[in-house]
Homo-oligomer: A and B are copies of this chain.
Amino acid sequence: MADYREMWSELGLDLALHDKLCAALPPLFEEAFLHQKDRPSGMDYFNMVIAEVHGLRIKELVDHKRNGGFVVGSFCVYVPEEIVLALGGLMVGLCAGSQFWVPEGEKVLPRNLCPLIKAAIGAKLSKTCPYFQSVDLVVAENTCDGKKKAWEEMGRLVPTHVMDLPNRKSKEGMDLWRSQVRELIKRLEDLSGRKLTYEGLMEGIRKVEAKREALRGLYETRKADPVPISGIDSLVVSQIAFYDDPERFTSMTNQLVQECRDRVSSGFGVFPKGTKRILLTGSPIVVPNWKVHHILETSGASVVVEENCTGTRYFKGSVDTSPKDLEGLIDALADRYMNGINCACFSPNQGRLDDVVELAREYKVHGVVDVTLSFCSTYQVEEGALKRRLKEEGIPLLCLETDYAPGDEGQLRTRVEAFLESL
């Protein structure tokens, strides 16, 4: 690996602490990924991306900024990357998946808050995330209480623009959201000194749609039995979608998809035919949080689809590109986000229950595992409705709550094994 210490130093990282973080990742990745059998060779690229997670991509961001571009960080699938790309920016998902940052986050946030939010703030406070150090602006969003209120702290640490979401998908809620998309455009126009054009936005939409289409292709191959790719490999591809160069990501994912299709054609899979197939749903699962996938797939199950923000919600629904004027296209873009993504921050959120049932049928799963992060109230309360719906549909459900701290793997594994035996 190249030596990035000078770059990290220029970005203001706490190098000593960052070294500790960097030392922790490879063994974690090795245990979760490299011990798998028969991985597609197309995963080599994604292995490299993880190995270079704080190196190569950061250098690209730095170079992009040197060439007059800007970089936006985000924490949510509601932030429209199309607009960022259209205005000559790059968007990256920010660091929020490791226990490493949680204690630092707890210095300014209550302990009784979801680990993702504490890690997000902790990553910035501890100066150990080169993505955070590279962004010109964080584009945050009012989804859950924890995030909404934590942005008030975030805004003290880094320039932050907050998009307001409604709590219900109503006509008035949609009006609010469309206004927020326009506010973001204005903010990014100010930041970039550019003006959003119809052609620019269409190009942004094309790039992001190509990325979504590649992921849809990947997921499509996971409907096969045997599955051509493990759930955890598919997960890391989805996670990387949040911060890799969009066109390179699309190209590499399409290569992987072709390999998976070939495997499906020849009946080759990473788990034996007949392996118990699981749909995983719930809170977002961001890098390097691979805990539950790893436990499931080393306990004899295969995760074949994720109904979450690092799964189908990332690519569900396309932007209607039929409007011939910029305002119409902006509305269509806003609509794709509001209609496509069924987050538990909305009430009611019937769409998610429908999505879970539909995906469970399409992917012919044996059971559903609902994974919520500790203190993620929206998903945890929604578990009641999910339980009822899946019972009606006759689909077995296991509910797991976990955070980023090690120590609960044994307990989770015991529950997973009992669930798998019952299927």
Contact = CB atoms under 8 A, between A and B. Distances in A.
Interface of A: 108-110, 112-113, 142, 144-146, 148-153, 162, 164-168, 170, 172-173, 175-176, 179-180, 344-345, 347-348, 374-375, 377-378, 380-385
Contact of A175 (B165, B172, B384): B172
Contact of A344 (B113, B149, B172, B384): B149
Contacts of A152: 347-348, 381-382, 384-385
Contact of A110 (B146, B151, B173, B381): B381
Which of A113, A145, A152 lies at the interface centre, i.e. has the most chain B CB atoms within 10 A of its CB?
A145
Contact of A168 (B164, B380, B382, B384): B164
Which of A151, A164, A170, A382: most chain B Cβ within 10 A? Answer: A164
A164 B170 contact: yes
Contacts of A112: 112, 374-375, 377, 380
B347 A377 contact: no
8 contacts: A108-B384, A109-B384, A110-B377, A110-B381, A112-B374, A112-B380, A149-B344, A164-B170
Given A165-B167, A166-B166, A348-B152, A377 B176 contact: no
A181 B72 CA distance: 37
Given A151-B347, A164-B168, A172-B175, A381 B113 contact: yes
A377 B118 CA distance: 12
Contact of A381 (B153, B166, B176, B382): B153
Contacts of A374: 112
A166 B145 CA distance: 12
A279 B128 CA distance: 40
Contacts of A142: 167-168, 347
A381 B149 contact: yes
Contacts of A150: 381
A381 B109 contact: yes
B377 A149 contact: yes
Contacts of A148: 167, 347, 378
Contacts of A168: 142, 162, 164
Contacts of A176: 166, 172-173, 175-176
Given A153-B384, A165-B167, A166-B166, 4 more contacts: A142-B167, A152-B381, A173-B176, A375-B377
A173 B167 contact: no
A102 to B, nearest CB: 15
Given A164-B170, A383-B110, A145 B175 contact: no
Instruction: Point out which of A168, A170, A378 has the most chain B C-beta atoms below 10 A from its C-beta.
Output: A168
A111 to B, nearest CB: 9
A150 B145 CA distance: 14
Given A381-B109, A384-B153, A164 B175 contact: no
A166 B176 CA distance: 9
Nearest to A112: B375
Contacts of A110: 377, 380-381, 383
Contacts of A149: 344, 347, 377-378, 381-382
A270 to B, nearest CB: 35
Contacts of A109: 381, 384
Given A175-B175, A176-B176, A383-B110, A377 B146 contact: yes
A229 to B, nearest CB: 34
A148 B165 CA distance: 14
A250 B377 CA distance: 39
